[in-house]
């Protein structure tokens, strides 16, 4: 067992419950011993304190005292088996000259934790036990009766029946009232905790609805603006391809533009599906990942950018799709950035993805200003750094001594269940 587990096991509520149980059992033991002794003294007809202190316990009273101690010890399990403990203690109190305090402790546990007919049966049985106990105790003298001593009644005066009922009703009523109060407070705390959880869930649901509404709005804007322009671009590129049958270079470039526009339309539809239904498994399957890097390199080669690539992806274990998608988009942005700032220059791409090292993407291309070591990040590099940070990785951009523009991105390996290997 760890240290933290010990700390939880011996927390203050547990110590408090153990202390209360110990006090209750000890009190019931003392009360039971006193009641059994008074019962023997009444049976022997003792009337003075000197006689009571001098009289030894007989064998039968010793047995009754052991039974009384057993009833007190049974209170340890009063919350685990409240009905059975209550029934047993009350029945023994009715049959034997035991004290009426132990049934009250058992009745308290029943009312706190049990409802329905079993609770009412326990209340009735405990009330009978209390009446019998008070009536039995009131039949002696002041030297052998706790209730006569409490009310200051003389030995010759009879103990009135109405006082027996009044004392019993008061004891049972106070016990049940305290138990109902504790049960009500527990129910109130439970209700407040449930209300808090409900409010939290409603707040989270409201945030999710707001985010979904924002995603819908963004999806509509993107579809209306980019979808229209990409459609026009594909139409014009197709027209240019048809109109230039004699110039193969222009026709080939127009075909590349048309295919790029059509691919962009497919990517746009996938992105719109992600915005509108982010948790859909079919949508997630359509998102590009590391397996699509070869197609990305072919597109760059077709666009006239020489790419020397080295790609290693460990496919023996499953990589989380979000990390794979981030790595794909980062590689796409790096190649696009190289093509934009150093058109026609060769690009060296290296991708290494394995569980023990994570996902590492690096590129090297000629810098447009080889003697200027300063880095002025534009929207592309800024967006790249933000995407890397969201994936929990690191990124570096610098110009080396040979005037080459270098980038290095490292992403943590995350298993398909969402658990990082770091």
pLDDT tens per residue, range 363-382: 998 887 767 777 777 767 78
pLDDT confidence tier of residue 286, bands split at 50, 70 and 90: low
Cα angle vertex 196, ends 191, 200, to 5°? Answer: 145
Q: What DSSP string describes 67-119?
A: HHHHHHHHGGGTTTSHHHHHHHHHHHHHHTT--SHHHHHHHHHHHHH--SHHH
**CA–CA distances in Å: residue 222 to residues 209, 227, 333, 386, 402:** 20, 7, 19, 21, 42
Between 99 and 217, whose confidence is greater?
99
Residue 315 in contact with residue 335, Cβ under 8 Å?
no
What percent of the chain has pLDDT above 90? 26
Checking DSSP bridges between strand 307-313 and strand 347-354, what pairing results, if any? Answer: parallel
Give me the domain span that covers residue 63: 14-159
Neighbours of 218 (CB within 10 A): 14
Number of domains into which the chain is organized: 3
308 shares its domain with 257: no
Q: In what order do the strands lie in the sheet with 358-366?
A: 307-313, 347-354, 358-366, 404-411, 394-399
Identify whether 282 is part of a domain. Answer: no
| Alpha helices by DSSP H, 277-359 | 281-286, 293-302, 321-341
* Residue 195 within any structural domain of the chain: no
Residue 359, pLDDT score: 92
Q: What's the CA gap between 20 and 16, in Å, rounded?
A: 6
Q: 398 and 297 in one domain?
A: yes
Q: Is residue 107 part of a domain?
A: yes
Same domain membership, residue 262 and residue 338: no
Name, of 77-91, 133-147, 361-375, the range with top average pLDDT. Answer: 77-91
pLDDT at 84: 94
What does the alpha-carbon distance between residue 416 and residue 422 come to, in Å, rounded to a whole number?
Answer: 14
Query: Tokens 């030995």 belong to which residue?
Result: 155
Q: How far apart are CA 211 and CA 380, in angstroms?
A: 25
| Residues contacting residue 422 through CB under 8 Å, at least 6 positions apart | 358, 412, 413
Q: Report whether pLDDT(282) > 50.
A: no
Q: Which residue has the higher pLDDT, 284 or 237?
A: 237
What are 10-28's pLDDT values in tens digits?
567 788 888 899 999 999 9
List, in order, residues 6 or more apart from 105 with CB less than 8 Å away: 24, 28, 75, 78
Choose from 89-98, 304-313, 384-393 the range with maximum mean pLDDT: 89-98
Query: In the predicted model, what is the mean pLDDT of residues 221-230?
Result: 65
> Which of the four pLDDT bands, split at 50, 70 and 90, describes residue 89?
very high
Give yes or no for residue 409 having a pLDDT over 70: yes
Same domain, 51 and 77: yes
CATH number of the CATH domain containing 369: 3.30.565.10
Are 236 and 296 contained in the same domain?
no
Length reported for the chain: 422
Q: Show the CA angle centred on residue 197, arms to residues 194 and 201, nearest 5°.
A: 140
Residue 237: CB atoms within 10 A of its CB come to: 20
Q: Is residue 346 part of a domain?
A: yes
* Whether the predicted pLDDT of 296 surpasses 60: yes
Give the residue-averaged pLDDT of 200-217.
83
**What's the pLDDT tens digit per position in 29-82?**
998 888 888 888 787 777 777 777 767 778 888 898 899 999 999 999 999 999
Residue 124 pLDDT: 94
Count the Cβ atoms, other than its own, within 10 Å of residue 136.
22
- Domain-ending residue, one of 123, 143, 159: 159
Torsion sign (Cα): 175, 176, 178, 179: positive
- Say if residue 141 is in the same domain as residue 20: yes
Residue linked to tokens 């109405």: 162
| Residue 174, helix vs strand vs coil | helix
Which pLDDT score, from 0 to 100, does residue 283 have? 45
Tell the burial category of 11 from Cβ atoms under 10 Å away from its Cβ (0-12, 13-18, 19+).
exposed
Do 228 and 155 lie in one domain? The reply is: no
Identify the pLDDT of residue 416: 60
254 & 353 share domain:
no
Distance CA 313, CA 318 (A): 11
Residues 6+ apart with CB under 8 A from 240: 250, 251, 254, 257
Tell me if residue 173 falls in helix, strand or coil. Answer: helix
What's the sign of the alpha-carbon dihedral 128, 133, 136, 137?
negative
Domain-embedded: residue 269: yes
20 and 155 together in one domain? yes
**Looking at the DSSP assignment, which residues form a beta bridge with residue 359?**
353, 411
Q: Tell me whether residue 196 is in a domain.
A: no
Residue 217 has pLDDT above 80, yes or no: no
Under DSSP, the state recorded for 290 is: G
Q: Tell me how far apart the alpha carbons of residues 205 and 100 are, in angstroms, rounded to a whole number.
A: 55
Q: Higher pLDDT residue, 339 or 306?
A: 306
In a domain, 187, yes or no: no
SS3 label, residue 260: helix
Confidence tier at 221 by pLDDT (50, 70, 90): low
Q: Does some domain include residue 169? A: no
Tell me the C-alpha distance between 273 and 63, whole Å.
Answer: 81
Would you state the pLDDT for residue 223?
64
Q: How much is the pLDDT for 284? A: 46
pLDDT in tens, 350-359: 999 988 888 9
State pLDDT tens for residues 308-327.
999 998 877 778 888 888 88
Same domain for 124 and 83: yes
Same domain, 225 and 313: no
- pTM for the full predicted model: 0.53
Give the residue from 242, 275, 308 where a domain finishes. Answer: 275
Beta bridge partners of 397: 407
Tell me if 137 sits within 8 A of 84, measured CB to CB.
Answer: no
Residue pair 52/154 in contact by the 8 Å Cβ criterion = no
* Section 173-190 average pLDDT: 92
Same domain, yes or no, for 22 and 151? Answer: yes
Compute the distance between CA of residue 28 and CA of residue 198 in angstroms, rounded to an integer.
43
State pLDDT tens for residues 145-164.
778 878 777 777 778 889 88
Q: What is the pLDDT of residue 110?
A: 93
pLDDT tier at 251 (50, 70, 90 boundaries)?
A: confident
For tokens 């992403």, name the residue. Answer: 411
Q: Name residues whose C-beta falls within 8 Å of residue 67's C-beta, 6 or more positions apart in sequence.
A: 92, 96, 98
pLDDT the model gives residue 385: 86
């Amino acid at each position: 067992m760890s240290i933290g587990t010990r700390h939880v096991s011996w927390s203050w509520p547990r110590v408090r419950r153990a202390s209360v149980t110990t006090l209750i059992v000890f009190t019931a033991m003392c009360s039971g011993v006193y009641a059994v002794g008074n019962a023997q003294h009444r049976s022997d007809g003792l009337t003075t304190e000197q006689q009571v202190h001098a009289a030894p316990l007989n064998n039968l009273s010793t047995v009754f005292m052991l039974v009384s101690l057993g009833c007190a010890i049974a209170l340890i399990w009063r919350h685990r088996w409240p009905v059975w403990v209550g029934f047993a203690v009350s029945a023994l109190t009715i049959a034997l000259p035991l004290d009426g305090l132990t049934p009250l402790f058992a009745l308290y546990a029943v009312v706190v934790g049990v409802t329905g007919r079993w609770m009412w049966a326990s209340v009735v049985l405990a009330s009978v036990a209390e009446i019998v106990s008070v009536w039995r105790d009131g039949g002696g003298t002041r030297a052998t009766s706790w209730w006569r001593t409490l009310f200051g009644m003389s030995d010759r005066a009879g103990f009135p029946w109405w006082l027996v009922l009044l004392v019993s009703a008061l004891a049972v009523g106070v016990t049940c009232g305290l138990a109902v109060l504790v049960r009500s407070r527990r129910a109130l705390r439970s209700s407040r905790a449930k209300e808090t959880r409900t409010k939290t869930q409603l707040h989270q649901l409201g945030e999710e609805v707001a985010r979904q509404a924002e995603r819908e709005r963004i999806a509509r804007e993107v579809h209306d603006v980019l979808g229209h322009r990409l459609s026009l671009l594909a139409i014009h590129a197709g027209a240019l391809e048809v109109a230039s049958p004699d110039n193969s270079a222009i026709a080939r470039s127009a075909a590349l533009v048309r295919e790029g526009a059509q691919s962009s339309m497919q990517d746009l539809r996938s992105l719109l599906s992600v915005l509108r239904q982010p948790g859909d498994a079919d949508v997630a399957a359509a998102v590009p990942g590391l397996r699509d890097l070869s197609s990305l390199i072919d597109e760059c080669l077709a666009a006239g950018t020489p790419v020397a690539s080295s790609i290693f992806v460990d496919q023996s274990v499953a990589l989380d799709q979000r990390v794979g998608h981030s790595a794909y988009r980062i590689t796409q942005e790096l190649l696009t950035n190289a093509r934009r700032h150093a058109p026609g220059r060769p690009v060296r791409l290296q991708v290494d993805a394995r569980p023990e090292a994570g996902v590492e993407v690096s590129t090297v291309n000629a810098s447009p200003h080889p003697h200027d070591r300063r880095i002025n990040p534009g929207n592309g590099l800024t967006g790249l750094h933000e995407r890397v940070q969201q994936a929990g990785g690191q990124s570096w951009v610098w110009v080396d001594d040979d005037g080459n523009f270098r980038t290095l991105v490292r992403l943590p390996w995350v298993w398909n269940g969402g658990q990082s290997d770091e």
